[in-house]
Structure 1
Amino acid sequence: MSQDIGRTYVTNAVRSATPGQLIIMLYDGLIRFATDSRDLLREGKPAADSINRCIRILTELNVCLRFEVAPEFCDRLSKLYEFYTVELSRAMHQHQPEIITNILPMIENLRDAWQTAEQQVGGKKDEGETPEGQ
């Protein structure tokens, strides 16, 4: 029952979120699963599921990029997402949690930048106006 309440809450939060808030939610999930992956690797446990969730989130973030609005910005973000994907895969295959430790601050900084941008924009909902075209 409490799982149903949690799912309903998340569903409602996603449905009522601005595009910028959705991006922030994706980053929050990415940070959570990357942290879980790092911790699992430290404990010598399989981290494939958590890392695959990270990679799916990165793929979604990449799909959200609007190259027609801000091509250079989107190109840079796309390359960062690719870098994070490679590093997460490398951490899993080499069983090196420190690789994730190294990229987590970068991901957190991006998340914080989106949070700042969202606050400055004031959260326009579905008007096609997201910070820097994402």
Structure 2
Amino acid sequence: MLQNAAQTYQSNQVTTATPADLTLMLYNGALKFIKQTKAALDEKDMVKAHEASLKVQNILYELMSTLNNDYDISKEFSKLYEYMLQRTVESNMRKDVEILLEVEDLFVQFRDTWKEAMQLAKRQG
């Protein structure tokens, strides 16, 4: 019963979120799955590491598909997301935590910048 309530809450969060909130959720989700990947690699659980890494890859695909390519900045984001995807795949294939740390750092930078932009937009709105 508690799990159903949590799932309902999460579902409501997603369906009522703004596009900006959804982007932030994707960044946070990617960071969560990177943490799970690192933990699974530490535990030598390659199946769990692979599954968590695939979730990071799926988030990157989602981020790329939501870009509005009418803006030059979107093209830059696309290049960065593609690079992060390539590195995530490489990390998954090699089970290389160092590569994963690079991707994690990029996600932290994206998330933190995005949060600042959201706060600035709220103050100006």
Tell me if structure 2 keeps the 8 A contact 1:55–1:85. yes
Aligned residue for 1:128?
none
Aligned residue for 1:50?
52
| TM-superposition CA deviations, 1:59-86 (whole Å, max 9, x none) | 0111110111x1x211111111111111
Per the TM alignment, residue 29 of structure 1 is displaced from its structure 2 partner at its CA by 0.4
Aligned residue for 1:6?
6
Per the TM alignment, residue 103 of structure 1 is displaced from its structure 2 partner at its CA by 2.1
CA distance in 2, matches of 1:42, 1:80: 27
Per the TM alignment, residue 104 of structure 1 is displaced from its structure 2 partner at its CA by 0.9
Aligned residue for 1:82?
82
Q: Which runs of 4+ in 1 moved over 4 A?
A: none
- SS of equivalent to 2:117: helix
1:24 aligns with 2:18: no
Matches within 5 A, 1:103-118: 103-118=103-118
CA distance in 2, matches of 1:31, 1:84: 13
The structure with more helix, counted as a fraction of residues: 2
Q: What is the TM-score with the length of structure 2 in the denominator? A: 0.90
Aligned residue for 1:132?
none
CA distance in 1, matches of 2:95, 2:10: 32
Tell me if structure 2 keeps the 8 A contact 1:39–1:97. no
User: C-alpha root-mean-square deviation of aligned residues, in Å?
Assistant: 1.4
Per the TM alignment, residue 39 of structure 1 is displaced from its structure 2 partner at its CA by 2.0
| TM-superposition CA deviations, 1:36-95 (whole Å, max 9, x none) | 112212322111111111111110111110111x1x211111111111111111111112
CA distance in 2, matches of 1:82, 1:34: 17
Q: Structure 1 regions of 5+ residues with no counterpart?
A: 124-134
Q: Structure 2 regions of 5+ residues with no counterpart?
A: none
Instruction: State the identity %.
Output: 29
Q: What is the TM-score with the length of structure 1 in the denominator? A: 0.84
1:62 aligns with 2:60: no
